[in-house]
Amino acid sequence: MRARWPALLAVVALCGSACSGDPKPAAPANAGVRICLYTDGNSGTFWTTLKGGAEQAADDLGVTLDYQEADHDLEAEGHLAEDGVRSGCDAMGISAPEAAGLQHAADAVYAAGIPLLAVNSGEAVYVQLHAFTYVGQDDALAGRQAGSRLAGAGATRLLCVMQDGEDPTLDQLCAGADDAVGSVVPLRLTRGLADLPASAAEIEAQLRADPGIDAVLSVDPDLAVGAVLPALEAVGSPLPVGALGVSEQAVRAVAAGTLAFAIDEQPFAEGYLSVVLLNLAATTGAEAGGGRPVLTGPAFVTKDNADRVLELETAGTR
């Protein structure tokens, strides 16, 4: 009987607090690490998916995440970054459509010795902003690949449909398509997504005025489905249409064959990878990317993979 006591004591020792009835879980190993992600996004589907990726990474790593959006107001985003410096961010990500509105804040982050990356936008300016990498899509590459696909379908003159406003990203996308096709007609819509019937009427007018147009590229999936396709139906021209970006309706249109393809920059991956890379920088000093971008796109959605992408899109992980 005496021989059993050491084994019994060992079991008790191993059991420890797990058998004591104490309901308190152990604190995550990285709970003291504060990762901050400030974007010019809004509550739309794309940014909600990016945020979901960041939150999933934070949960997986056990870090604390401060995610905030500025709704396309770069001055407000800059204030978020400056507040993050004062409140003790260990590493920070920002979206950067252009540098001017964020340079002062980025300088403050750099002066504080806080690792910084650009996410979703900023490939052209992230070095200027002292970011060690950019996580997102190469927009010029996305435009070139989209143009190449449409050229492969016979396109020689491409209508590139954009929302109104000055956004360098849209210009890069259409310029990339121009490199591939050789003739691109840019169309900046007056009302864009705010008035899809009016946008469809503008597209229809352009198609009637320029009968040489033989393909369309929309820089937004909702514009593609809600304005481009109705315009083509109105003029009776079943031209190939590509969309930059994904939505449930766009992916369904790809599956049905009414859209030739959609290009996905994979926002869930953008958010997830940003938190992973920022955690590495904060805890080990490692700066991944070698000073180059970490690309999450372009990734093509075609009829072959549309059903799978739709599952992921519905789950919020694409």
pLDDT tens, position by position, 15-24 = 444 444 555 5
- Output the pLDDT for position 108: 98
Collect all residues with Cβ–Cβ distance below 8 Å to 272 and sequence separation of at least 6.
53, 54, 56, 57
Collect all residues with Cβ–Cβ distance below 8 Å to 309 and sequence separation of at least 6.
246, 251, 264, 301, 318
Q: pLDDT grade, residue 317 (50/70/90)?
A: confident
Mean pLDDT (whole number) for 276-290? 97
pLDDT top residue among 157 and 317: 157
Q: pLDDT grade, residue 81 (50/70/90)?
A: very high
DSSP state of 191: S
CB 120 within 8 A of CB 311: no
Is there a common fold for 34-138+266-297 and 139-264? yes
- Output the pLDDT for position 15: 43
Smallest Cα–Cα separation from 221: which of 175, 267, 165? 267
* Residue 270 CA: distances (Å) to CA of 51, 188, 197, 250, 306: 9, 27, 32, 20, 20
The superfamily in CATH containing domain 34-138+266-297 is Response regulator (3.40.50.2300)
In DSSP terms, which residues pair with 134 in a beta bridge? 118
Q: Is 25 helix (H, G, I), strand (E, B) or coil?
A: coil
CB 245 within 8 A of CB 297: no
CB 295 within 8 A of CB 137: yes
- Output the pLDDT for position 168: 73
Mean pLDDT (whole number) for 285-311? 95
* Domain limits, the chain: 34-138+266-297, 139-264
pLDDT higher than threshold 70 for residue 3:
no
Q: pLDDT grade, residue 7 (50/70/90)?
A: very low
pLDDT higher than threshold 80 for residue 96:
yes
Q: For residues 269 and 127, what is the distance between their CA atoms, to the nearest angstrom? A: 22
**275 token code pair:** 């938190």
The superfamily in CATH containing domain 139-264 is Response regulator (3.40.50.2300)
- Output the pLDDT for position 34: 98
Q: For residues 18 and 24, what is the distance between their CA atoms, to the nearest angstrom? A: 10
**304 token code pair:** 């072959």
Q: For residues 121 and 124, what is the distance between their CA atoms, to the nearest angstrom? A: 8
Q: For residues 141 and 137, what is the distance between their CA atoms, to the nearest angstrom? A: 8
Mean pLDDT over the full length of the chain: 89
